[in-house]
Protein backbone atom coordinates (compact mmCIF):
# COMPACT_ATOMS: atom_id res chain seq x y z
CA UNK A 1 0.00 0.00 0.00
CA UNK A 2 2.86 2.28 0.97
CA UNK A 3 4.63 1.79 -2.36
CA UNK A 4 1.39 2.10 -4.32
CA UNK A 5 0.66 5.42 -2.65
CA UNK A 6 4.17 6.62 -3.49
CA UNK A 7 3.87 5.44 -7.11
CA UNK A 8 0.51 7.24 -7.47
CA UNK A 9 2.12 10.38 -6.11
CA UNK A 10 5.10 10.00 -8.46
CA UNK A 11 2.77 9.66 -11.45
CA UNK A 12 1.57 13.20 -10.73
CA UNK A 13 4.80 14.70 -9.34
CA UNK A 14 7.43 13.90 -11.91
CA UNK A 15 11.11 13.90 -10.87
CA UNK A 16 13.24 16.53 -12.60
CA UNK A 17 15.03 15.78 -15.87
CA UNK A 18 18.65 16.42 -14.82
CA UNK A 19 20.51 19.34 -16.36
CA UNK A 20 24.23 18.93 -17.02
CA UNK A 21 25.22 22.09 -15.11
CA UNK A 22 26.02 21.05 -11.48
CA UNK A 23 24.62 24.25 -9.90
CA UNK A 24 21.40 23.99 -11.91
CA UNK A 25 21.15 20.32 -11.00
CA UNK A 26 21.56 21.09 -7.31
CA UNK A 27 18.76 23.69 -7.51
CA UNK A 28 16.52 21.13 -9.29
CA UNK A 29 17.20 18.56 -6.59
CA UNK A 30 16.52 21.07 -3.81
CA UNK A 31 13.12 21.78 -5.38
CA UNK A 32 12.55 18.02 -5.74
CA UNK A 33 13.23 17.60 -2.00
CA UNK A 34 10.69 20.35 -1.19
CA UNK A 35 8.17 18.51 -3.31
CA UNK A 36 8.90 15.17 -1.59
CA UNK A 37 8.48 16.87 1.77
CA UNK A 38 5.20 18.52 0.76
CA UNK A 39 4.02 15.10 -0.38
CA UNK A 40 4.68 13.69 3.11
CA UNK A 41 7.60 11.43 2.13
CA UNK A 42 10.28 12.87 4.43
CA UNK A 43 10.70 13.15 8.19
CA UNK A 44 9.11 9.75 8.88
CA UNK A 45 9.78 9.04 12.55
CA UNK A 46 10.66 12.67 13.37
CA UNK A 47 8.40 14.49 15.89
CA UNK A 48 5.41 16.11 14.21
CA UNK A 49 5.92 19.40 16.10
CA UNK A 50 9.18 19.82 14.13
CA UNK A 51 7.73 18.93 10.72
CA UNK A 52 8.06 15.15 11.05
CA UNK A 53 5.47 12.46 10.40
CA UNK A 54 4.29 9.25 11.99
CA UNK A 55 6.41 6.25 11.11
CA UNK A 56 9.91 5.01 11.71
CA UNK A 57 13.27 5.24 10.05
CA UNK A 58 12.46 1.84 8.54
CA UNK A 59 9.50 3.46 6.73
CA UNK A 60 11.86 6.22 5.60
CA UNK A 61 14.24 3.57 4.24
CA UNK A 62 11.31 2.08 2.32
CA UNK A 63 10.59 5.48 0.78
CA UNK A 64 14.21 5.74 -0.42
CA UNK A 65 14.03 2.20 -1.84
CA UNK A 66 10.71 2.88 -3.59
CA UNK A 67 12.04 6.15 -5.06
CA UNK A 68 15.05 4.22 -6.35
CA UNK A 69 12.86 1.50 -7.87
CA UNK A 70 10.89 4.24 -9.65
CA UNK A 71 14.11 5.81 -10.96
CA UNK A 72 13.53 9.00 -8.93
CA UNK A 73 16.41 10.75 -7.17
CA UNK A 74 16.65 10.75 -3.37
CA UNK A 75 16.49 14.07 -1.46
CA UNK A 76 19.62 16.17 -1.88
CA UNK A 77 19.93 17.53 1.67
CA UNK A 78 21.21 14.19 2.86
CA UNK A 79 23.69 15.54 5.46
CA UNK A 80 20.91 17.48 7.18
CA UNK A 81 18.43 14.62 6.95
CA UNK A 82 20.74 11.82 7.97
CA UNK A 83 23.39 13.24 10.26
CA UNK A 84 22.77 16.78 11.52
CA UNK A 85 18.99 16.27 11.96
CA UNK A 86 19.35 13.21 14.20
CA UNK A 87 22.12 15.00 16.18
CA UNK A 88 19.76 17.96 16.70
CA UNK A 89 16.98 15.60 17.76
CA UNK A 90 19.29 14.06 20.36
CA UNK A 91 21.17 17.14 21.59
CA UNK A 92 19.37 20.31 20.39
CA UNK A 93 17.16 22.56 22.50
CA UNK A 94 13.50 22.80 21.47
CA UNK A 95 14.21 26.26 19.99
CA UNK A 96 17.03 24.80 17.88
CA UNK A 97 14.83 21.90 16.77
CA UNK A 98 11.99 24.29 15.78
CA UNK A 99 14.38 26.57 13.93
CA UNK A 100 16.38 23.98 11.99
CA UNK A 101 14.47 20.71 11.58
CA UNK A 102 11.53 21.88 9.38
CA UNK A 103 14.03 23.65 7.08
CA UNK A 104 16.19 20.51 6.86
CA UNK A 105 13.13 18.54 5.73
CA UNK A 106 12.01 21.05 3.09
CA UNK A 107 15.53 21.53 1.71
CA UNK A 108 15.35 25.26 2.60
CA UNK A 109 18.61 24.70 4.51
CA UNK A 110 21.28 22.48 3.03
CA UNK A 111 23.91 21.50 5.59
CA UNK A 112 27.51 20.47 5.30
CA UNK A 113 29.66 18.82 7.94
CA UNK A 114 32.89 20.56 8.94
CA UNK A 115 34.76 17.93 10.92
CA UNK A 116 37.88 16.86 8.95
CA UNK A 117 40.95 19.07 8.78
CA UNK A 118 44.31 18.70 7.02
CA UNK A 119 45.80 17.34 10.27
CA UNK A 120 42.65 15.81 11.75
CA UNK A 121 40.80 13.12 9.80
CA UNK A 122 40.79 9.75 11.51
CA UNK A 123 42.18 11.45 14.58
CA UNK A 124 39.34 13.90 15.00
CA UNK A 125 40.29 14.73 18.58
CA UNK A 126 43.21 16.78 17.23
CA UNK A 127 40.95 19.36 15.52
CA UNK A 128 42.72 22.75 15.42
CA UNK A 129 39.97 25.09 14.23
CA UNK A 130 39.35 27.32 17.22
CA UNK A 131 36.20 29.08 18.43
CA UNK A 132 36.70 31.89 20.95
CA UNK A 133 33.87 33.35 22.98
CA UNK A 134 33.60 37.09 22.38
CA UNK A 135 30.70 39.49 23.01
CA UNK A 136 28.23 36.62 23.63
CA UNK A 137 29.11 34.80 20.39
CA UNK A 138 31.65 32.22 19.28
CA UNK A 139 34.11 33.43 16.63
CA UNK A 140 35.58 30.65 14.48
CA UNK A 141 39.04 30.57 12.89
CA UNK A 142 40.61 27.65 11.04
CA UNK A 143 40.40 25.34 8.06
CA UNK A 144 38.30 22.30 7.20
CA UNK A 145 38.81 19.94 4.26
CA UNK A 146 36.83 17.31 2.31
CA UNK A 147 33.65 19.18 3.24
CA UNK A 148 31.01 17.66 0.97
CA UNK A 149 28.60 20.06 -0.79
CA UNK A 150 29.98 23.08 1.11
CA UNK A 151 29.73 25.11 -2.12
CA UNK A 152 25.93 24.73 -2.05
CA UNK A 153 25.37 24.59 1.70
CA UNK A 154 23.56 27.21 3.77
CA UNK A 155 24.80 25.97 7.14
CA UNK A 156 27.76 24.04 8.45
CA UNK A 157 28.05 21.85 11.55
CA UNK A 158 31.56 22.76 12.67
CA UNK A 159 33.59 20.83 15.20
CA UNK A 160 35.81 23.47 16.81
CA UNK A 161 38.19 23.73 19.73
CA UNK A 162 36.76 25.92 22.48
CA UNK A 163 39.08 24.57 25.18
CA UNK A 164 42.85 24.22 25.20
CA UNK A 165 44.73 21.81 22.88
CA UNK A 166 45.78 19.53 25.72
CA UNK A 167 42.12 18.88 26.62
CA UNK A 168 41.86 16.74 23.45
CA UNK A 169 38.29 15.63 22.77
CA UNK A 170 37.01 17.33 25.95
CA UNK A 171 37.82 20.77 24.53
CA UNK A 172 35.62 20.45 21.42
CA UNK A 173 32.26 22.09 20.69
CA UNK A 174 29.70 21.44 17.91
CA UNK A 175 28.75 24.81 16.40
CA UNK A 176 26.37 26.03 13.71
CA UNK A 177 27.95 28.43 11.20
CA UNK A 178 26.18 30.22 8.31
CA UNK A 179 28.06 29.51 5.09
CA UNK A 180 27.37 32.99 3.75
CA UNK A 181 28.62 34.76 6.88
CA UNK A 182 31.54 37.18 6.34
CA UNK A 183 34.90 35.34 6.54
CA UNK A 184 33.79 32.00 5.05
CA UNK A 185 35.71 30.94 1.90
CA UNK A 186 34.95 27.75 0.01
CA UNK A 187 37.44 26.24 -2.45
CA UNK A 188 36.11 23.23 -4.38
CA UNK A 189 38.36 20.18 -4.91
CA UNK A 190 37.98 18.08 -8.06
CA UNK A 191 37.69 14.36 -7.38
CA UNK A 192 38.90 11.67 -9.76
CA UNK A 193 35.29 11.30 -10.98
CA UNK A 194 35.71 14.81 -12.40
CA UNK A 195 33.05 16.14 -10.02
CA UNK A 196 33.49 18.67 -7.27
CA UNK A 197 31.73 17.09 -4.33
CA UNK A 198 34.04 18.18 -1.58
CA UNK A 199 35.82 21.41 -0.69
CA UNK A 200 38.30 23.19 1.47
CA UNK A 201 36.52 25.61 3.79
CA UNK A 202 38.32 28.51 5.49
CA UNK A 203 36.88 30.33 8.50
CA UNK A 204 38.49 33.69 9.06
CA UNK A 205 37.01 35.07 12.30
CA UNK A 206 33.51 33.94 11.39
CA UNK A 207 30.80 34.69 13.93
CA UNK A 208 28.84 31.49 14.64
CA UNK A 209 25.04 31.48 14.53
CA UNK A 210 23.08 32.88 17.50
CA UNK A 211 22.30 30.06 19.88
CA UNK A 212 24.59 27.99 17.66
CA UNK A 213 26.02 25.53 20.19
CA UNK A 214 24.48 22.08 19.78
CA UNK A 215 24.86 20.22 23.07
CA UNK A 216 27.23 21.57 25.73
CA UNK A 217 30.24 23.83 25.27
CA UNK A 218 33.08 21.27 25.49
CA UNK A 219 30.59 18.46 24.75
CA UNK A 220 31.12 18.45 20.98
CA UNK A 221 32.82 15.07 20.91
CA UNK A 222 29.66 13.29 22.06
CA UNK A 223 27.54 15.11 19.45
CA UNK A 224 30.12 14.39 16.72
CA UNK A 225 30.22 10.73 17.67
CA UNK A 226 26.44 10.44 17.48
CA UNK A 227 26.52 12.29 14.13
CA UNK A 228 29.10 9.84 12.78
CA UNK A 229 27.14 6.85 14.04
CA UNK A 230 24.04 8.10 12.25
CA UNK A 231 26.06 8.80 9.10
CA UNK A 232 27.47 5.27 9.17
CA UNK A 233 24.11 3.60 9.81
CA UNK A 234 22.24 5.69 7.24
CA UNK A 235 24.85 5.19 4.54
CA UNK A 236 23.70 1.72 3.41
CA UNK A 237 20.10 2.97 3.28
CA UNK A 238 20.75 5.90 0.99
CA UNK A 239 23.68 4.48 -1.01
CA UNK A 240 21.94 1.23 -1.98
CA UNK A 241 19.00 3.31 -3.21
CA UNK A 242 21.25 5.65 -5.23
CA UNK A 243 23.16 2.77 -6.78
CA UNK A 244 19.92 0.99 -7.68
CA UNK A 245 18.82 4.08 -9.64
CA UNK A 246 22.18 4.22 -11.35
CA UNK A 247 22.18 0.47 -12.13
CA UNK A 248 18.65 0.60 -13.59
CA UNK A 249 19.77 3.44 -15.85
CA UNK A 250 22.91 1.50 -16.74
CA UNK A 251 20.91 -1.60 -17.70
CA UNK A 252 18.44 0.37 -19.77
CA UNK A 253 21.41 1.83 -21.68
CA UNK A 254 22.95 -1.48 -22.64
CA UNK A 255 19.82 -2.85 -24.20
CA UNK A 256 17.41 -5.75 -24.26
CA UNK A 257 19.88 -8.61 -23.91
CA UNK A 258 21.55 -6.79 -21.09
CA UNK A 259 25.05 -8.14 -21.24
CA UNK A 260 26.58 -11.04 -19.46
CA UNK A 261 23.98 -12.59 -17.15
CA UNK A 262 26.55 -13.80 -14.62
CA UNK A 263 28.08 -10.35 -14.12
CA UNK A 264 24.64 -8.75 -13.96
CA UNK A 265 23.59 -11.41 -11.45
CA UNK A 266 26.55 -10.66 -9.19
CA UNK A 267 26.00 -6.91 -9.42
CA UNK A 268 22.33 -7.46 -8.45
CA UNK A 269 23.41 -9.67 -5.54
CA UNK A 270 25.83 -7.07 -4.14
CA UNK A 271 23.11 -4.42 -4.45
CA UNK A 272 20.55 -6.67 -2.75
CA UNK A 273 23.06 -7.35 0.04
CA UNK A 274 23.57 -3.59 0.49
CA UNK A 275 19.80 -3.12 0.69
CA UNK A 276 19.61 -5.88 3.32
CA UNK A 277 22.35 -4.18 5.38
CA UNK A 278 20.35 -0.95 5.05
CA UNK A 279 17.20 -2.66 6.36
CA UNK A 280 19.13 -4.04 9.35
CA UNK A 281 20.57 -0.59 10.09
CA UNK A 282 17.13 1.03 9.74
CA UNK A 283 15.69 -1.60 12.10
CA UNK A 284 18.30 -0.67 14.71
CA UNK A 285 17.77 3.06 14.23
CA UNK A 286 14.00 2.62 14.56
CA UNK A 287 14.32 1.30 18.10
CA UNK A 288 17.01 3.62 19.42
CA UNK A 289 20.59 4.64 18.92
CA UNK A 290 22.67 2.32 16.83
CA UNK A 291 26.04 2.76 18.62
CA UNK A 292 29.19 0.98 17.43
CA UNK A 293 27.16 -1.45 15.27
CA UNK A 294 27.01 1.46 12.83
CA UNK A 295 30.68 0.67 12.10
CA UNK A 296 29.69 -2.86 11.02
CA UNK A 297 26.98 -1.50 8.68
CA UNK A 298 29.27 1.11 7.15
CA UNK A 299 32.19 -1.29 6.70
CA UNK A 300 30.02 -3.97 5.07
CA UNK A 301 28.37 -1.45 2.77
CA UNK A 302 31.62 0.10 1.62
CA UNK A 303 32.99 -3.30 0.70
CA UNK A 304 29.76 -4.33 -1.07
CA UNK A 305 29.72 -1.04 -2.96
CA UNK A 306 33.24 -1.65 -4.23
CA UNK A 307 32.40 -5.23 -5.27
CA UNK A 308 29.25 -4.03 -7.02
CA UNK A 309 31.07 -1.25 -8.85
CA UNK A 310 33.90 -3.55 -9.99
CA UNK A 311 31.38 -6.06 -11.35
CA UNK A 312 29.26 -3.41 -13.09
CA UNK A 313 32.38 -2.17 -14.86
CA UNK A 314 32.89 -5.48 -16.70
CA UNK A 315 29.29 -5.89 -17.93
CA UNK A 316 29.20 -5.55 -21.71
CA UNK A 317 26.20 -5.42 -24.03
CA UNK A 318 25.56 -8.96 -25.33
CA UNK A 319 23.73 -7.71 -28.40
CA UNK A 320 25.63 -4.67 -29.56
CA UNK A 321 23.37 -4.29 -32.65
CA UNK A 322 20.28 -3.79 -30.52
CA UNK A 323 21.52 -0.65 -28.80
CA UNK A 324 22.88 2.64 -30.01
CA UNK A 325 26.56 3.42 -29.55
CA UNK A 326 25.53 6.53 -27.64
CA UNK A 327 23.49 4.54 -25.09
CA UNK A 328 26.34 2.06 -24.62
CA UNK A 329 28.85 4.84 -24.10
CA UNK A 330 26.55 6.55 -21.55
CA UNK A 331 26.20 3.27 -19.66
CA UNK A 332 29.95 2.70 -19.67
CA UNK A 333 30.63 6.18 -18.42
CA UNK A 334 28.08 5.77 -15.61
CA UNK A 335 29.69 2.43 -14.60
CA UNK A 336 33.10 4.13 -14.65
CA UNK A 337 31.73 6.92 -12.47
CA UNK A 338 30.26 4.46 -9.92
CA UNK A 339 33.58 2.60 -9.88
CA UNK A 340 35.72 5.70 -9.29
CA UNK A 341 33.35 6.99 -6.61
CA UNK A 342 33.31 3.60 -4.88
CA UNK A 343 37.00 4.04 -4.01
CA UNK A 344 35.90 6.77 -1.57
CA UNK A 345 33.49 4.39 0.20
CA UNK A 346 36.21 2.99 2.47
CA UNK A 347 37.41 6.50 3.40
CA UNK A 348 34.50 8.86 4.15
CA UNK A 349 32.61 8.62 7.44
CA UNK A 350 35.54 6.68 8.95
CA UNK A 351 38.07 4.62 7.01
CA UNK A 352 37.85 0.82 6.88
CA UNK A 353 40.84 0.58 9.26
CA UNK A 354 39.25 2.93 11.79
CA UNK A 355 35.93 1.07 11.60
CA UNK A 356 37.68 -2.26 12.21
CA UNK A 357 39.24 -0.67 15.31
CA UNK A 358 35.78 0.51 16.50
CA UNK A 359 34.33 -2.96 15.93
CA UNK A 360 37.22 -4.66 17.72
CA UNK A 361 37.24 -2.39 20.75
CA UNK A 362 33.69 -1.12 21.19
CA UNK A 363 31.60 -3.88 19.66
CA UNK A 364 33.69 -6.97 20.50
CA UNK A 365 35.40 -5.59 23.62
CA UNK A 366 38.87 -6.66 22.49
CA UNK A 367 41.86 -5.04 24.24
CA UNK A 368 43.67 -2.09 22.67
CA UNK A 369 46.99 -2.70 20.94
CA UNK A 370 49.90 -2.06 23.29
Ligand X SMILES: Cc1cc2nc3c(=O)[nH]c(=O)nc-3n(C[C@H](O)[C@H](O)[C@H](O)COP(=O)(O)OP(=O)(O)OC[C@H]3O[C@@H](n4cnc5c(N)ncnc54)[C@H](O)[C@@H]3O)c2cc1C
Q: Which residues pair with 133 in a beta bridge?
A: 138
CB 170 within 8 A of CB 126: no
**Of the two residues 75 and 253, which places its CB atom closer to ligand X in the complex?**
75
Binding part of the chain for ligand X, among 70-78, 298-306, 323-331, 348-356 by CB under 6 A, reads 348-356
Contact with ligand X (CB under 6 A) among 177, 209, 344, 358: 344
Contact with ligand X (CB under 6 A) among 100, 111, 115, 270: 115
**Of the two residues 169 and 279, which places its CB atom closer to ligand X in the complex?**
169
CB 160 within 8 A of CB 142: yes
* Distance of alpha carbon 252 from alpha carbon 75, whole angstroms: 23
- 147 contributes a contact to ligand X by CB under 6 A: yes
- Rounded to 5 degrees, what are φ and ψ at 103? -75, -25
Residues 6+ apart with CB under 8 A from 95: 211
- 122 contributes a contact to ligand X by CB under 6 A: yes
**Of the two residues 253 and 349, which places its CB atom closer to ligand X in the complex?**
349
* Distance of alpha carbon 265 from alpha carbon 274, whole angstroms: 14
Contact with ligand X (CB under 6 A) among 36, 273, 335, 354: 354
Contact with ligand X (CB under 6 A) among 106, 116, 294, 312: 116
- How many angstroms separate the Cα of 227 from the Cα of each of 173, 243, 291, 327, 353? 13, 23, 11, 40, 19
Q: Which of 117, 197, 231, 305 is catalytic?
A: 231
- 243 contributes a contact to ligand X by CB under 6 A: no
H/E stretch holding 31: helix 22-38
CB 83 within 8 A of CB 230: yes
- 332 contributes a contact to ligand X by CB under 6 A: no
H/E stretch holding 90: helix 85-91
Binding part of the chain for ligand X, among 107-115, 130-138, 201-209, 235-243 by CB under 6 A, reads 107-115
Question: Among this protein's residues, is 200 annotated catalytic?
Answer: no
Minimum distance between the CB of residue 198 and ligand X, rounded to whole angstroms?
Answer: 5
Q: Which residues of this protein are in contact with ligand X, per CB under 6 A? A: 112-116, 121-122, 146-148, 197-198, 344, 347-348, 350-351, 353-354, 357
Where in the sequence numbering do the catalytic residues fall?
A: 231
Amino acid sequence: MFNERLYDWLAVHRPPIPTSDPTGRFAQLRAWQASLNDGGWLGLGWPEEFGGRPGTILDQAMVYAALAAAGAPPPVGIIGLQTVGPALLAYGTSEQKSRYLPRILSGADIWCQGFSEPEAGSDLASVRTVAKYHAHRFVVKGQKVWTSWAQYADLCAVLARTGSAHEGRRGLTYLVVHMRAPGVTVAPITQMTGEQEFNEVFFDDVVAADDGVIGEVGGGWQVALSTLENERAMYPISRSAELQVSFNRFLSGIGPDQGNAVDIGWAEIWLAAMTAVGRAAAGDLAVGTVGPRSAVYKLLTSQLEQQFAERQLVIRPANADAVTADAVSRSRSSARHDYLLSRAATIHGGTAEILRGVIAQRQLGLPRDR
